[in-house]
Amino acid sequence: MLSLKNHFLMAMPHLEDSPFAGSLCYLCDHDDNGTMGVMVNRPLELTLDALLEQLELEIQDPSALSAPVYFGGPVHKDRGFILHRGDSSDWDSSLQVSEEIALTTSMDILQALAKGEGPEHFLVCLGCSGWEPGQLEEELKDNAWLTVEGRADILFELPPEQRLQASAGALGVDLNLMTREAGHS
């Protein structure tokens, strides 16, 4: 099986009635046990400083804490998933997704962000997106998604509203020109 770890999933236009409509999902794990990722273009009306206050963490450096918190997906909506540039060995519970990108789920990274000692580039997501073994592959066969290799510059340097089109552009595709009808040839 070809792994889609470190790839973007772009929702096709015909998924308009789905919780994934208009979404860009970054896949952090994909193997025989299933697939896990986080949506990276859906900011919530919640900022990191407000989240840290809810968690009763003392904010010592407010410099980057006005960053939005993202809706990562419909699974584990009460858990935080932090995508960041850097090494996963710096944090208690991390997965190195690519040479450049890691996913951390432990509280120590939030404590470090509150102190101004966390990674410079990060996205905080509440919830994740998950697929059972074989489920994503079936959705790909049904033309529900486009895939392209993930890129840190799209994740961390572009505003959320530009990430989906930038990912599609990496494939030479303009999602605005795609039909809402799915088909097979």
Question: Are 11 and 23 a contacting pair, CB within 8 Å?
Answer: yes
What six digits make up the tokens of 128?
């994740």
> Within the chain, where are the H helices?
48-54, 107-115, 135-141, 152-157, 160-170
d(CA 87, CA 85): 7
18 located within any domain: yes
- For residue 58, the domain's CATH number is 3.40.1740.10
Structural domains of the chain, count: 1
The pTM (predicted TM-score) of the whole model is 0.91
| Residue 2 domain flag | no
User: 99: buried, middle or exposed (CB in 10 Å: 19+, 13-18, 0-12)?
Assistant: exposed
Residue 1 lies in a domain: no
Establish if 180 belongs to a structural domain. Answer: no
Residue 183 lies in a domain: no
Look at residue 1 in the predicted model and tell me its pLDDT. Answer: 60
Domain-embedded: residue 35: yes
Average pLDDT of the chain to the nearest whole number? 89
pLDDT per residue over 101-144, tens digit each? 999 998 999 999 998 888 999 999 999 999 999 999 999 999 89
Per-residue pLDDT tens digits for 80-113? 999 999 877 778 889 999 999 999 998 999 999 9
Domain that holds residue 136: 7-174
